[in-house]
Structure 1
Amino acid sequence: MASTLRHVTFKNSHIDIAGDLRLPSDFSEVDKSHAALVLVTPGSSVKEQAGGIYAQRMVDKGFVTLVFDPSYQGQSGGEPRDLEDPWARTEDVRCAVDYLMTLKFVDEDRIGVLGICAGGGYAVNAALTEHRIKAVGTVVAVNIGRANRQNEASPDTGFQMLAAVGKQRTIEARGGAQHRVNWIPDSPEAAREAGIDDRDTLEAVDFYRTSRGYNKHSTNRMYFRSIAPMLGFDAFQ
């Protein structure tokens, strides 16, 4: 018997979060002892991509799994679109646990979280204060705040980025257009043309921006104002 996929929705405050709930092949509605995992996706990624792959691998091992699109992204709600808000991402995890707590077939003392890349940092951050999470796993976990701070050439560069965000906020407050930037190049060809030789970036492009992992709900765009909250975030504090 194959595993079962259910499309579900739960709330983070006023935002509808779109999720995929997977049930193992030996699933029973009357069995209240199923262990469950919340899967937390990488930055820019939606539930059908890396998170969905790991969710399926873990359901094949007998877990109930829940993977979801972050607030403001994919098929989840929230405005402005493409916002990467670390605090919202962490709260998404807590709200996913809330949802699992409503399922009678999930053992509330056997809920874990598995985060991938930036999702690994968000998973750890959520578990620091969400003690209903009994186990934490990560795959190439990234502290997105620290990574962004270290990527800046100097402290002055960080200040310049914050100044640019402030300028953009003023433009939007006065009725101007929103601004978005790419997470990664839109294609392997674009990466080569840009002279990018960083292995991690090239591997991300080869997965997310080709037929291997492309999904129409992943825009590969980040709302520019996301930069400020990311620079101020630390996943491990």
Structure 2
Amino acid sequence: MKKIAFFITGLLFSVAQLSAQNSNKNLKKMNLKEHYTFKLSDKVTRTSVTFKNRYGIVLSGDLYLPKNPGNEKLAALVISGPFGAVKQQSSGLYANQMAERGFAVIAFDPSYTGESNGEPRNLASPEINSEDFSAAVDFLGLQKNVDRNKIGIIGICGFGGFALNATAVDKRVKAVATTSLYDMTRVMSKGYNDSVTPEQRNKTLEDLSQQRWKDAENGKPAKGSRNLPEKLNGDEAQFVKEYFDYYRTPRGFHANSLNSNGAWLMTNPLSFMNMPILTYVKEISPRPMLLIAGENAHSRYFSEDIYKIAAEPKELMIIPNAVHVDLYDKVDVIPFDKLENFFTTNLK
């Protein structure tokens, strides 16, 4: 089948069908089953947990707790993202940092990916992935050491959009923050900077519709083709180089991550094409929203546009000189003190 041009454009960073036999020897030496891309703080405990979402899918998460929490119930956070990543990557790093600051935090693998259940594999859904956040809220609210009236959400990259969507509908969430926000429904349906023409969109939908016939005939959905190269040639777009530097090097590689080591299904964009998830973002108010983006991030416009349409209270924080992936794992760039203050102030 011919490559779907727009599908490739919209998901260059996340549809990598990459071989585990990478030439990088450091990747081969990793104990990938137990591998985390960051070091667990000696002030924090981490426990593997599972919980079900509203669709009966069993999600896999890591619960991070401060070792010396005191006697009062803890304020809590739910964290996931980026789109195509797993809990051993950015979301776990964030959870580790925020637990060190006194929060109970769960980082989880979204439905159909990582160690979470759901068939077929390597699928995303704007509704189900938003529901995943609320399911994690369910889990946290049942913990005896958590104050269920003090629960917030952090969404990273594509899960920033799902985090906002979940917060809009789930009034139990008292505050929400995003970093390197992506609106996946917007980028899949309209392309970067809304550059896709009606003709290109129609062609994409035609290709996806025809792919459904092939999947039906074969009895299983086809995987998308690799878009991130196994090796860089040097002439790739800058943001592709940045994604490669995180997902395909020891810095952020994980075998369970679709961005590091797999591919979304070919028809994955279908559920995103007609589902603008941020239609009701104003309904997050009066609960506070914090949007954090890098000054030089190719995705910066997503945060800026949401800030324009969101209702107060809201805040947009631009990190000087930072690019999109800097907010994945660079602890000296990610404003954790700001996040701590934001949630301490608003989870009351």
Tell me the equivalent position of 2:86: 46
Equivalent pair of 1:110/1:134 in contact (CA under 8 Å): yes
* Offset of residue 181 of structure 1: 2.1
Identify the structure with the greater strand proportion: 1
* Offset of residue 182 of structure 1: 5.3
Tell me the equivalent position of 1:71: 111
How far apart are the structure 2 equivalents of 1:182 and 1:96? Answer: 32
TM-score between both structures, scaled by the size of structure 1: 0.91
How far apart are the structure 1 equivalents of 2:100 and 2:131? Answer: 27
Q: Which range is displaced more, 19-28 or 45-54?
A: 19-28
* Offset of residue 153 of structure 1: 3.4
How far apart are the structure 2 equivalents of 1:186 and 1:89? Answer: 27
How far apart are the structure 2 equivalents of 1:104 and 1:32? Answer: 11
1:110 aligns with 2:150: yes
1:207 aligns with 2:207: no
How far apart are the structure 2 equivalents of 1:192 and 1:24? Answer: 44
* Offset of residue 26 of structure 1: 1.6
Unaligned runs of 5+ residues in structure 2 are 1-41, 280-348
How far apart are the structure 2 equivalents of 1:213 and 1:119? Answer: 17
Q: Which range is displaced more, 216-225 or 17-26?
A: 216-225
Tell me the equivalent position of 1:14: 56
1:223 aligns with 2:265: yes
How far apart are the structure 2 equivalents of 1:153 and 1:89? Answer: 25
Q: Which range is displaced more, 157-166 or 144-153?
A: 144-153
How far apart are the structure 2 equivalents of 1:146 and 1:35? Answer: 32
**1:160-212 CA distances to partner (integer Å, 9 max, x unpaired)?**
1111111111222223553222575154x2x437x422x33321111011110
Q: Residue 114 of structure 1: SS of its match in structure 2?
A: strand
**1:13-62 CA distances to partner (integer Å, 9 max, x unpaired)?**
2211000000012235xx45201000021111011111111111111111
* Offset of residue 124 of structure 1: 0.2
Q: Residue 85 of structure 2: SS of its match in structure 1?
A: coil
Equivalent pair of 1:149/1:231 in contact (CA under 8 Å): yes
Runs of at least 4 residues of structure 1 off by over 4 A?
none
**1:54-105 CA distances to partner (integer Å, 9 max, x unpaired)?**
1111111111110100100000011111001111100101111111111011
TM-score between both structures, scaled by the size of structure 2: 0.63
Q: What does 1:132-147 align with in structure 2 at a 5 Å threshold?
A: 132-147=172-187
Tell me the equivalent position of 2:218: 175
How far apart are the structure 2 equivalents of 1:61 and 1:32? Answer: 15
Equivalent pair of 2:190/2:201 in contact (CA under 8 Å): no
Q: Residue 180 of structure 1: SS of its match in structure 2?
A: coil
